[in-house]
Amino acid sequence: MPLTVIECDYISPIDDKSTHVVRDGALVYDASSAGGARLLWVGKRRDLDHVFKFHRLKRIDRRQFVACPGLFDLHFHWVQDDVRLMPKDSLLKWLEQYTWPYEQRFSKPSYTQKRARRFKRELHQVGTLGGFVYGSLHAESVTEALKQFVGDFVVGNVLMTMNSPQYLCQTSSQALKIVKALAKKYTHHYAVTPRFAPTVHPEVMRESARIARLHDCFIQTHLSENTDEIRFVLELFRAMKGFEKVKSYTDIYHQLGLLGPKTIFGHCLHLSAGEWQLLKRTQSVIAHCPTSNASVKDNGLGSGLFSLEKAERYKIRWALASDIGGGPYLSMFDVMNSFVQQHQKAKVKQATYSMALNRATLESAKIMGLEHRVGALSAGLEANFLLLKKTDTQLLTLNRFFASIKERLQHDRASSQELVSETWYQGRRIFSSSSKTTGQ
Interface contacts to Zn ion, rule CB under 5 A = 266, 323
Q: Which is nearer to Zn ion, 322 or 337 (CB)?
A: 322
- Give which of 256, 316, 309 is closest to 280, Cα–Cα: 316
Q: Which is nearer to Zn ion, 24 or 96 (CB)?
A: 96
CB of 129 to Zn ion, least distance (A): 20
Q: Which is nearer to Zn ion, 269 or 381 (CB)?
A: 269
Q: Which is nearer to Zn ion, 275 or 323 (CB)?
A: 323
Q: Which is nearer to Zn ion, 163 or 404 (CB)?
A: 163
Q: Which is nearer to Zn ion, 77 or 215 (CB)?
A: 77
CB of 328 to Zn ion, least distance (A): 13
> CA angle, 312 as apex, 309 and 314 as ends, to 5°?
105
CB of 80 to Zn ion, least distance (A): 8
CB of 41 to Zn ion, least distance (A): 39
Q: Which is nearer to Zn ion, 186 or 196 (CB)?
A: 196
Instruction: Please say whether the beta carbons of 124 and 438 come within 8 A.
Output: yes
CB of 220 to Zn ion, least distance (A): 9
Name the residue whose CB lies closest to Zn ion.
323
Q: Which is nearer to Zn ion, 202 or 266 (CB)?
A: 266
CB of 221 to Zn ion, least distance (A): 9
CB of 266 to Zn ion, least distance (A): 5
**Four-point Cα dihedral 103, 108, 109, 113, nearest 10:** -60
CB of 286 to Zn ion, least distance (A): 13
